[in-house]
Structure 1
Amino acid sequence: MASLLPTAMRMGRLQKDCADALPAMFANCDVLSFEEGALVLAVPTSAVAAKLKQQLPKLQGALQQRGWQINNIKLKVQVIRAIAPVVHTRQLDFPATAVQAFEALGEALPDTAQNARLIAAIKAMAARRR
């Protein structure tokens, strides 16, 4: 693991320098590899790749000014990154026995300072489900 740390730190610095050079365009992009002067970037969609391709000379110049010896930049579309996380907006339906069990739990817990927020949350949830 210790031998990977310098490489990881170097890739992190390169990622930051790329984001600093093109802040708006590089938000969803990642550095995949940098070997022998060839930089490979992951982009989420082909549309972003087309826009970023126009900015490659600017990116290469900015990185060279920061000391990176970059001769070639390649783009790879990585569709996985473009998928938005699943957000569940539907509320769960509890059976009446579950709501009663939560109400009983709210009453059964010891009324201490540690439990105050938990009891309030359980009672509020049970009240919403009635």
Structure 2
Amino acid sequence: MNRRHHAVTLQQATEESPTLARLAGLTRDSSERLRAVEPLIPPLLRPAIRPGPIEGTTWCLLVRSSAAAAKLRQLLPALQAHLRSRGWEVTAIRLKIQT
């Protein structure tokens, strides 16, 4: 059997694979969550934060420094409440410091 390999776009691969489709959906959801809470985050702190993985009702934020994480930790209750008010089931927000 002669098999030809051909390139596919990321969108095609995502549509054809349930696993990739699920990961793409989680990535989109995480980015949407960050956009929803950005107004609650001080403007100078925003560039230090990136959306991270979602595991059940726990959402992770990737933070550039421990100083930024310390400030963000103070805002977590407000961020969680805001997300819940917008329909997301978030029981915890984890912070992961990226070095």
From 79, 82, 88, the equivalent of 1:62 is 82
Unmatched segments (≥5 aa) in structure 1: 80-130
The Cα of 1:23 is off from its aligned counterpart by: 4.8
Q: Which protein shows a greater Rg?
A: 1
Task: Give the distance between the partners of 1:33 and 1:7, measured in 2 at CA.
Answer: 7
Q: Check the 8 A contact 1:19/1:27 in 2, yes or no.
A: no
Q: CA deviation at 1:11?
A: 2.4
**CA-to-aligned-CA distance 1:38-90 (integer Å, 9 cap, x gap):** 011110000000000011111111111111110011111002xxxxxxxxxxx
Q: Output the aligned Cα RMSD.
A: 1.7
- Residue 38 of structure 2 is matched in structure 1 by 19
Q: TM-score, normalised by structure 2?
A: 0.69
Contact 1:60 1:70 in 2 (8 A): yes
Aligned residues: 79
Aligned-residue sequence identity (percent) comes to 30
Q: Which is richer in strand?
A: 2
- The secondary structure found in structure 1 opposite 2:47 is coil
